[in-house]
Amino acid sequence: GENVEQHPSTLSVQEGDSAVIKCTYSDSASNYFPWYKQELGKGPQLIIDIRSNVGEKKDQRIAVTLNKTAKHFSLHITETQPEDSAVYFCAASQSPRETSYDKVIFGPGTSLSVIP
């Protein structure tokens, strides 16, 4: 089955600096890679996702890159703000067009702290 690794486990940055979180996956059949932000006491919230036919995607201060050959994908947050502090999970799954559901497998998470 799919195994997703994520680094670093904790990350502390100064407000305004950039933060980078890196993930690897094992199953070459995975073709959908979402990133979730989870604040204390809340459920995971999707912040950005990328499909395997795309190498990079950007949404304001957040960008994700995918290297399908190396099975790596990364999250980049620029101009970090204190409200970006949370646990971030990368994940991998196969398109539900083949399975009729997303078996989303999560990485272990990165606890991001943005210091004002």
Interface residue list for another protein (CB under 8 A) = 32, 34, 36, 42-46, 49, 89, 95-97, 99-109
Closer residue to another protein, CB minimum distance, 51 or 72:
51
Task: Compute the least distance from the CB of residue 104 to another protein, in Å.
Answer: 6
The residues pairing with 58 across neighbouring beta strands, listed in sequence order, are 63
Alpha-carbon gap, residue 76 to 9, rounded angstroms: 15
Q: Which residues partner with 114 through β-bridges?
A: 13
| Rounded least distance, CB 12 to another protein, Å | 16
Task: State the minimum distance, in angstroms, from the CB of residue 16 to another protein.
Answer: 27
Indicate the residue among 3 and 18 with the shorter CB distance to another protein. Answer: 3
Distance CA 42, CA 82 (A): 17
And the tokens for 46? 């999707």
Residue among 28 and 45 whose Cβ is closer to another protein: 45
Two tokens, residue 107: 């990485």
CB 28 to another protein: min, Å: 19
Nearest-CA neighbor of 89 among 107, 76, 73?
Answer: 107
Q: Residue for token digits 């210091």?
A: 115
